[in-house]
Every structure is written in structure tokens, then in C-alpha cells.
Amino acid sequence: MIISKKHKGKSLIVALIMSLLFTNVYAQDPIKIMLYGDSLMAGYGLSQKENLSSELTRSFKENEPTIKFINASISGNTSKNGLSRVEWSLGDNPSIVILCLGANDMLRGLDPSLTSNNLDLIINKFINNNSVVVLAGMKSPESMGAKYQLEFDSIYPELSKKYDLILMPFLLEGIALEKEMLLADYKHPNSNGIKVMANNLRPYILDAIEQLK
């Protein structure tokens, strides 16, 4: 069959248009990953370009399909605060949620059973919205007492087991108690600590993306 130059030109134009259309579809419909927590993920004391959302965006910039990170973390939030605003956050319809709340509950010495119940309700709402939940755990210091420490630390693995969630055992792994990774308050990660946090989160995020397929 002989194909004229005119038809070849038309075919190339059609192919180009189809390629652009498919590219635009993916560009407009990225995987939305929501960071749902408190100051540890919000970027307390850091500039916008240094926070966790920005660091993860840089880390996954070559990913296909594209990923959009939504910083829905608010400094000072307890698990109760997180529960009170979850319905509003569902409006972003995230495909994946990285949930880490409870640190402020612990610092206030709140009953771990209340924290667990609030997190349980938050997880339920995201799961019912068809989001894959990555639960990032926190740990209580020994100064809170052995009983409190045991009850609080068990919240995250127990909820993870109950809902078969992806569990990151400790959000501050390699950061907590490391002065070079913390701000002057020795509580919040500095820009170096955020880089470690983002790197630690990466395999859990990749696992969550696999669950979307």
C-alpha cells in the first residue's frame, strides 16, 4: 500500500494530538497524597521550600504518574482536632493519606484510649473514602511512666493490625534525640531532619502506590 505524504502528515498530526490529550489527562489527574498530622509534618519553624511536602515533592518529581502532596497538617493539633476537621479534608479526595497524630496528646498526658479512639475514627473515615492509609507512629518517652509508655506506644501497631494498614513504626526514626536533626527546641525536625523523614517515608509511600494499582 502506498501512503501519500498528505496522509502521512495527517497521521502524524492525529498521533501528536492523541499524545497531548493523554499527557494532559495524567497531568490533570495526579496521585494525591495527603499529609495529615501536626507540627512534625506541617513544617514548624521551616520555610515553605523546606517543609515535608516540598521535600517529598522533590523526591518524587520523576514519578509517573505524577504525585501531588497536600500539606493538611496543622501545628498543635491533637487527635481530637484531627478528627474534628477530617470531613473537610475529605473534600480533597486523597488517594493516599499519611496519618500521624498523637504526639500532642502524649505531651499533654491524655488518656491513650482517647487517642486510639480518635485515630480509629479518622482511619475509618479515610478508608470509607477509598484512601490508602499509611499510619506513622509516635513513641512516648520513659519520663511519662512505664504504664503510659506501653499503652501509648501500642496504639499504632494495634490500629495498623486492626485495619491492615501500612505502618511506619516511628515518624522520627533517626531524628529524635539527634541534635543536628532538630530545631533549637529539640522537638521539631530542622531541614536536615525533614530530609531524613522524607527518605524514611519513601518506601512506605511506594507500598501505598502499589496498593492503588
Report if residue 87 sits inside a domain.
yes
Average pLDDT, integer, range 52-65: 95
* 5, pLDDT greater than 60: no
Number of C-alpha atoms within 13 angstroms, CB side, residue 5? 0
Query: What pTM was computed for the model?
Result: 0.86
Report if residue 119 sits inside a domain.
yes
Report if residue 4 sits inside a domain.
no
Read off the C-alpha cell for 146: 512505664
- pLDDT band for position 29 (50/70/90)? confident
* 109, pLDDT greater than 90: yes
Report if residue 96 sits inside a domain.
yes
Report if residue 18 sits inside a domain.
no
Q: What's the structural domain count of the chain?
A: 1
Report if residue 21 sits inside a domain.
no
Report if residue 157 sits inside a domain.
yes
- Is residue 35 within 8 Å of 55, Cβ to Cβ? no
CATH of the domain at 89: 3.40.50.1110
Cα separation of 182 and 39, whole Å? Answer: 13
* 179, pLDDT greater than 50: yes
Report if residue 63 sits inside a domain.
yes
What range defines the domain where residue 86 resides? 31-212
Confidence at residue 30, expressed as pLDDT on a 0 to 100 scale: 95
